[in-house]
Amino acid sequence: SPPCARQLPPHTRTRHTMILQYAEALCATRRLVLASASPRRREILANLGLKFDVVVSTFDENLDKAQFSGGADYAKATATHKALEVATRLETEDRAAPFMVIGADTVVEAPDGSIMEKPKDAAEAMKMLLSLQGITHQVHTGVGVVFPNTSGGPLVVHSFSETTRVTFAPLEEAEMLAYIKTGEPFDKAGGYGIQGPAGAFVSSITGCYFNVMGFPVHRFTSKISDMIRDGTIKL
């Protein structure tokens, strides 16, 4: 296979099956909710065999970045707030309360420590791509998993983040302009999506590919499986 092929190494593919034996029981009588509008996150979770509803969070992603030690902590906090907003809202609505609400947030962190979210316009997208071309940057995805307490107690929250290092090749201005014209940068953290045409910009990655797409599938399945095994989640 060519070096940039998206085939996962054998040990990673085997490790992902850790949640598959629980997927049917986990979804059989429980309502799982994804607090995200991202089609990529929906696809990743569905590929795990999980059945879930999508309820988009209305949380304003306006946390003060200066209050966080870096992009990973910022993404984790934002993801947790997204999940909490949906869990709290659904508790007050007259329908089946969810068993688990999953929130996620992805940001790109440049070497200078600046945190990039989605560009607002073409000029900002170009600024982001110019700052990333020819260097290695970090992509952080935070995940917040909230378990509403049906007995009226406090919500139970578990959160974590995953980081992947991504290296861009040097890019020509014409390449970046052509990419921006596709419209793809505008709903992507850092102004690019690795699974689309911008995958051609990436010379290497270290870490989870799916994390760059927007959801750290291996870390998530590990966490959920651990919670099932230690009794935090009872099947």
Indicate which residues carry an active-site annotation: 105
Q: How many residues does the chain have?
A: 235
The Cα 179–Cα 196 span in angstroms is 10
Q: How far apart are CA 106 and CA 213, in angstroms?
A: 9
CA end-to-end span of the chain = 40
User: Helix 217-229 crosses helix 20-28 at what angle (to 10 degrees)?
Assistant: 70
- Report the C-alpha gap between 43 and 197 in whole angstroms: 18
Q: Which of 218, 233, 217 is nearest to 100 (CA)?
A: 233
